Amino acid sequence: MPTHLGQNQYGKAENRVVRITRDGGTHHIKDLNVSVALSGDMDDVHLSGSNANVLPTDTTKNTVFAFAKEHGIESAEAFGIHLARHFVGSQEPIRRARIRIEEYGWERIPTAKEGDHSFVRTGQETRTTEISFDGEHWQVVSGLKDLVVMNSTDSEFWGFVKDKYTTLKEAHDRILATEVTARWRFNWTGDDQPQPQWEQAYADVRRQLLDAFAATYSLSLQQSLFAMGTRVMETRADVDEVRLSLPNKHHFLVDLEPFGLKNDNEVYLAADRPYGLIEGTVLRDGAEARIPVTD
């Protein structure tokens, strides 16, 4: 049966690099998980086994650690841009680089010790970014995952379609909780324009997502999703697309009547599965959707 080679890529995944910057007794931490994927003129290695165009994945790993020393890590985005430019610019067979990065946060522990170098790992969310470069065009998609949020009121769900299998009761005052996965695409196009202030941009988008979730009187999680994406677009001119994945972390009122107790929206069962999964993209008018639904 005739076959042909389709899209392909290779690289070194999940390079765990921690960079300590020492400013006297005050230290700063950047803790990244970096995955490199390269593609280009790679037919021969698949069809004949020739490695003539293959930069070893071990070399990509070494490059990540060397760049952490040589360039430092100002931000996940800036570090990924350095790597992508290097791989595409230094190896002729490599036509495209995709750098995916997860960043793990640390907070300082106040101590009586001299210096400022004690930290505790934060557990609120993981920061993400994906940089793609083909030698001419850039795409930067940043984001976060595992950010758990809850409104204990100001949420309803009623007026939905009902059929013979529907058992869910309408709710006019419910808990709304979700675990936010968000990705947002910057309209930065390359070196001919200044890069956004990546650290400030992340903090600002995160704040806008949280503010919109908290401020929206929600009749559905879909409504909250659109409000969150719209708030980012209204406040960040450098963002053209926001894609959100919001699992509904259901909280069901417990029936306490068998015990002679009234449950006035006070005691809930937190159910982890199955769960409703609400996903959607919010786009600036005139922009095209480029963040994949799945990858």
Q: What is the 3-state secondary structure (H, E, C) of 104-119?
A: ECEEECCCCCCCECCE
Task: State the pLDDT at residue 183.
Answer: 98
Rg (CA), the chain: 23
Task: State the pLDDT at residue 117.
Answer: 66
Task: State the pLDDT at residue 113.
Answer: 57
Model confidence pLDDT, tens digit, residues 99-152: 999 999 998 887 655 667 667 777 789 999 999 999 999 999 999 999 999 999
Task: State the pLDDT at residue 119.
Answer: 77
Q: Which of 30, 86, 249, 250 is catalytic?
A: 250
Q: Do domains 1-136 and 142-295 have the same CATH topology?
A: yes
Instruction: Please report, for the chain, the start and end positions of each structural domain, with discontinuous segments joined by +.
Output: 1-136, 142-295
Residue 57 catalytic? yes
Q: Which of 57, 59, 126, 281 is catalytic?
A: 57
pLDDT below 50 — which residues of the chain?
none
Compute the mean pLDDT over every residue in the chain, rounded to the nearest whole number: 93
Rounded to an integer, what distance in angstroms lies between the CA atom of residue 30 and that of residue 87? Answer: 22
Task: State the pLDDT at residue 243.
Answer: 98
Return the bridge partners of 20, or none: 29
Task: State the pLDDT at residue 111.
Answer: 65
Residue 249 catalytic? no
Fold of 1-136: Urate Oxidase (3.10.270)
Residue 250 catalytic? yes
Tokens of 113: 């010790």
Return the closest-CA partner of residue 87 out of 24, 132, 42: 132
Task: State the pLDDT at residue 283.
Answer: 98
Q: Which of 12, 30, 82, 86 is catalytic?
A: 12
- In CATH terms, the superfamily for domain 142-295 is Urate Oxidase; (3.10.270.10)
With vertex at residue 74, the alpha carbon angle to CA 69 and CA 80, rounded to the nearest 5 degrees, is 80
Rounded to an integer, what distance in angstroms lies between the CA atom of residue 123 and that of residue 110? Answer: 18
